[in-house]
Structure 1
Amino acid sequence: MPLPSDFTLLQVVPELDTGGAEQSTIDVAKAVVRAGGTALVATRGGRMAARLEADGGRLAQMPVQTKNPLTMLGNAARLVSLIRQEKVSIVHARSRAPAFSALWAAHATGTPFVATYHGVYKAQSGLKRWYNAIMTRGDLVIANSDYTRDHVLAEHNLDADRLVTIPRGVDLERFEPAFVTAARLDALRTAWGLDIADHRARILLAGRLTRIKGHLTIIEAAARLRAQGRHDFLIIFAGDDQGRTGYAAELKQAITAAGLDDCVRIVGHCDDMPAAYLLADIAILPTTVPESFGRAAVEPQVMGRPVIASNHGGVTETVQSGVTGWLAPVGDAEAWARAIAQAIDTGPARRMEMGETGRRRARQLYSVDAMCAQTLAAYEKVLEARA
């Protein structure tokens, strides 16, 4: 059955600042509005809230990011009121802490509950496994990759019929090379202090400044390349430290101590990622913890750039080693130095060929339209089962 004409979706996500879960929230809200429904998002807020509202979605601001039990109970009461007032059809939780409040509110109002398992949550104890399992206690669980799906099945006693894999999607309108103007490229080049006459290979690590993203591995790999006498690369770290000022300072100190200030650059948060990938020759994702999907490995491929990624997690599904990029051992600076050298030495023509292959494949498999269509179909299935 199709979605009803009065369909109202309530998504619950801690923040709308940056990240894959947040982007998926925005994308699905936009799809619901386009389908004639109402899209609500309960969240603390963040820099992406304006985009949600520009797309026709509505913000319900509340402190759902908290793990404080009393505040979580208050959130549950607020969500109950919102569900009843807006006649919400489905509640969709995208993170564990707010999922408790969202599930309680859904049960209290008899509203179907869906959760997306956005990350591979490790459980070192029975208590942590119970905490993680909140994401599996609704009508349907969405896994964002086959890697995540396999983890959920292995970790929780879940009926496979209540689990569906829907890979994250990339907005093919936003990430379209032909739509990136010269003015946008010039603006970003200026912001990053790039010289148009600098012909070094530009290598981009896009992601928040957090230890699991593998920045230190890349700094060590860069030092090894320099020790080999190479001066043909410029590495750019683009991402927000999100208050992790200590880690950001550690990175700057490591760069300076290794004598890499002229070839490793921290440029901060970037709002124009399509332009960022076009300015790069190679994108890297050296995560030390497996990404459940790894949008930062797919977006550059959509923009026609080859990717070097750590050989684990969901990126092993999205990066074809030797075809659309390369896979390198996790945390092995020597191996990463070799992979970066290989990518540089491959040359512009071959990198362009790999990038085009990756672009065709990513557009076919990982479009935001496909993700949204599958998500709305999942909602229809849940409503039909409840009916």
Structure 2
Amino acid sequence: MSAPEVSTGVTQIESATAAQGPVVLQVLPALVTGGAERGTVDIAGAIIADGGTAIVASEGGPMENDLKRLGALHLKMPLASKNPLVMRRNVARLVKVIEGYKVDLVHARSRAPAWSARAAARQTGCHFVTTFHAPYNFSNALKKRYNAVMADGERVIAISDFIAEHVRSNYKVDPKMLRVIHRGVDLARFDPDRVSAERMIQLTTRWRLPDGLPLILMPGRLTRWKGQAVLLEALSYLRDIDYRCVLVGSDQGRTAYRRELEELINRHGLAGKVLLLDECNDMPAAYMLSDVVVSASTDPEGFGRIVGEAQALGRPVVASDHGGAREQLLAERTGFLFPSGDAAALAAGLRKALGLSPEARARLHDEAIARVRQSFSKEQMCAKTLAVYKEVLRSGAWAPGAHP
């Protein structure tokens, strides 16, 4: 398949290979680390494994290499922009991609690119599917209308029951077109039997963790709504326990928030007990080192992949009692829920997790792993998404209508 001539703003990385299956174009703002981005890469791999051609359009990022390794095609395009003029030009760019690569279906994963992708799909008669990744906030009718493009696909995929209910309650979407497909954990990567002792020792040495002390782990980028400040306040209630706590995640330029967290560490007398680390290149080993994993988001998360990944490795999780975490955790069995933002309740959950007897911890370990393998695997997510694609492609021509 020859590559189309694409207007300024699109850089061809490589030619897409001919395939017997459908050509699917996924669009998203960028390929930085995140749940939507990870899902995009996973689905690209599933499309190729199923005999199709996978194309991804975005502004690019570190995960471009993951796509290349799979044999997917990445096209650089300014899809993160919310500038109306840029978004309009993106329509023309996407039309050229759809026509040049004979794209059968466009899958939009974020609002700004979805507006351009929907318009391009309409112009070309291409099928259009969306994934609703988060409960997008809206404070006025204009913002709600901006969000509504994510509910205007031939099929609307919600990443949790929580998101599906949010869509049903706030947007005009035919319930028959709504599909719940939970995000999937890569069980080949997050498998306790595949994390060697050597990897754990290397990480212990790198982080300079003392022997014999319990480890509290909180992964997640440093942004206020992820709740790092809530955890630090909760730790101030645990002065009678000796532990180490690692907050791992990039500040992505939010240096003021990082400084605020550093000040909170000092104010609560946690210096030497809490480490702030930018990145971890071996998260399975990090989870395996931990005695408890924390997800303390103050806003509901659409799914919350940290909860799933930690459970896949048999670790107890203490999570905010809202959003997708409720669907993943079996409360008091595979983890503990606490009211969002309640530092004292989070501290109580941490005490429960750290105080588990060896027998109780072993039971939790086995049930948590079984829970993820049964309901939240990457294989299930990919299979269900491909089934949606095939369902749409078997249907007739798309005749979408804008939803207010």
What is the TM-score when the length of structure 1 is the normalising length? Answer: 0.95
In 1: Cα distance, 2:358 partner to 2:91 partner: 54
Alignment CA distance shift 1:258-1:82 (3 Å) = same
1:160-175 to 2 correspondences below 5 Å = 160-175=175-190
Deviation at 1:270, TM superposition (A): 1.7
- Paired residue for 2:230, among 213, 217, 223? 217
In structure 1, what residue type is equivalent to 2:215?
R
Query: C-alpha deviations, 1:7-61, integer Å up to 9, x for none?
Result: 1110001111111111110100000011111111101111111111111211111
Identical columns (%): 45
| Aligned positions of 1:22-171 closer than 5 A | 22-171=37-186
Q: 2:336 aligns with which of 312, 321, 326?
A: 326
Aligned AA (2:323): G
Count of residues paired in the alignment: 379
Paired position in structure 1 for 2:365: 355
What is aligned with 2:401?
Answer: none
Identify, as 1 or 2, the structure richer in helix: 1
Equivalent pair of 1:206/1:237 in contact (CA under 8 Å): yes
Instruction: Check whether the contact 2:151–2:172 (CA below 8 A) recurs between aligned residues.
Output: no
Q: Which residue of 2 aligns with 1:201?
A: 214
Report the AA paired with residue 295 of structure 1: R
Structure-2 change in CA distance of 1:73 and 1:276 (3 Å):
same
CA distance in 2, matches of 1:75, 1:352: 53
Q: Tell me which residue corresponds to 1:182.
A: 197
One-letter amino acid of the counterpart of residue 230, structure 1: I
Distance in 2 of aligned mates of 1:174 and 1:147: 26
Question: What SS does structure 1 have at the residue aligned with 2:294?
Answer: strand
Cα distance, 1:253 vs. partner?
Answer: 1.3
For residues 218-247 of structure 1, give each alpha carbon's deviation from its aligned partner in whole angstroms, at most 9, with x where no partner exists: 111111211xx222x211111111111111
Q: How does 1:335-346 map to 2 (within 5 A)?
A: 335-346=345-356
CA distance in 2, matches of 1:367, 1:323: 20
Whole-angstrom CA distance in 2 between matches of 1:25 and 1:168: 11
Q: 5+ residue gaps in structure 1?
A: none
User: 2:265·2:271 contact (CA, 8 Å) conserved in 1?
Assistant: yes
CA deviation profile, 1:108-144 (whole Å, cap 9, x unmatched): 1110000000001122111011011010112110000
Partner of 2:5: none
Residue 348 of structure 1 deviates from its aligned partner by 4.1
Work out whether residues 152 and 173 of structure 2, in 8 Å CA contact, stay in contact via their aligned partners in 1: no
Q: How far off its partner does 1:343 sit?
A: 1.2
Structure 2 residue 274 is matched with structure 1 residue 264: yes
1:250 to 254, 257, 260: 260
- Is there any run of 5+ residues in structure 2 with no aligned partner, and where? 1-18, 398-404
Number of the residue aligned with 2:314:
304
Superposed CA deviations along residues 280-315 of structure 1, whole A, max 9, x for unmatched, are 111110110001111110101001111110001111
Q: Which residue of 2 aligns with 1:285?
A: 295
Matched-pair contact (CA < 8 Å) for 1:118–1:144: yes
Say which SS state the counterpart of residue 71 (structure 1) adopts.
Answer: helix
Bigger drift between 284-293 and 170-179 goes to: 170-179
CA distance in 2, matches of 1:60, 1:144: 25
Q: Distance in 2 between matches of 1:239 and 1:328?
A: 22
| 2:21–2:50 Cα contact (<8 Å) kept | no
Q: Structure 1 residue 181: deviation in Å?
A: 2.3
CA contact 1:112–1:386 (8 Å) conserved in 2: no
* Residue aligned with 2:71, SS: coil
The answer to which of 4-13 and 354-363 deviates more is: 4-13
Counterpart AA for 2:235:
A
- Residue 160 of structure 1 aligns to which amino acid in structure 2? P
**Matched AA of 1:287:** S
Kept after mapping to 2: 8 A contact 1:168/1:368: yes
CA RMSD in angstroms comes to 1.3
For residue 264 of structure 1, report the CA deviation from its aligned partner: 1.3
